[in-house]
A and B are shown apart, each in its own frame.
Chain A
Amino acid sequence: DTAVSQTPKYLVTQMGNDKSIKCEQNLGHDTMYWYKQDSKKFLKIMFSYNNKELIINETVPNRFSPKSPDKAHLNLHINSLELGDSAVYFCASSQDLIASTDTQYFGPGTRLTVL
């Protein structure tokens, strides 16, 4: 069984469209995250959710909105897509946001291409 899964794996769309990426974890974790990895391979955190509440918003444009229907899911909705949004988006989860020994488990990634 996949611990952290994301759909779709690939997403190709036009500028200006709205799209969503879904993430599910079956680990029973309390915290979930979204990361963006750009073309230069830098991996940066975008959001984290703890018990369905947004904890961190790392200066991401408000076109990006995370939505957590329950503790096991954290979806990423993107409005008015721009060329610069092209990247690989990774979902992750961990048991606890606070503990410095906490381990994050990452999904396989969604490669978003905006044309």
Chain B
Amino acid sequence: DAKTTQPNSMESNEEEPVHLPCNHSTISGTDYIHWYRQLPSQGPEYVIHGLTSNVNNRMASLAIAEDRKSSTLILHRATLRDAAVYYCILRKPRGGSQGNLIFGKGTKLSVKP
């Protein structure tokens, strides 16, 4: 399985942008890049996903490097509620176990008021 590498932790100030990096140098051409986050004492929640082009939604933006070996999740204005563990996951376009979400350690984001 293609693996992802994320920093263990990051800190941000409230109302400032946050850039969460993810390296995935062994990504294959058909792997999608998914981001989920897990707020304290809650289940994971979907944030965003992309394949090649940058993506924007109401929660965040996803910037994907041209060679697709890395990506960055961008929170445009961090709030205290954004404090969570952020998971970068590669997902294969196949069914069965190869289509699983494989969660790594993620990045624990702390937001300071």
Q: B32–A98 contact, CB under 8 A?
A: no
Q: Mark A97-115, 1 if CB is under 8 A from B, else 0.
A: 1111111111111000000
A44 within 8 A of B: yes
Judging by beta carbons under 8 Å apart, are B30 and A100 in contact?
Answer: yes
Question: Is B113 at the interface (CB under 8 A from chain A)?
Answer: no
Q: Could you tell me the distance in whole angstroms from the C-beta of B65 to the nearest C-beta in chain A?
A: 19
Interface of B is mostly: loop
Q: B93, B95, B96, B102 — which one has the most chain A CB atoms within 10 A of its CB?
A: B95
Q: How large is the interface on A (under 10, 10 to 19, 20 to 34, 35 or more residues)?
A: 20 to 34
Counting contact residues on chain B (CB < 8 A from A), the size range is: 20 to 34
Partner of B99, one of A97, A105, A109: A97
B-side contacts of A48, CB under 8 Å:
100
On chain A, the residues within 8 Å of B42 by CB distance are 108-109
The distance in angstroms between the C-alpha atoms of A14 and B63, with both chains bound, is: 48
Flag whether B78 is at the interface (Cβ < 8 A). no
CA distance A101 to B43 in the complex (A): 19
Q: Tell me the residues in window 48-105 of chain B with beta carbons closer than 8 Å to chain A beta carbons.
A: 49, 85, 91-97, 99-103, 105
Check B44 against A106 for contact (C-beta < 8 Å).
Answer: yes
Which residues of B does A touch, CB under 8 Å? 30-32, 36, 38, 41-46, 49, 85, 91-97, 99-103, 105
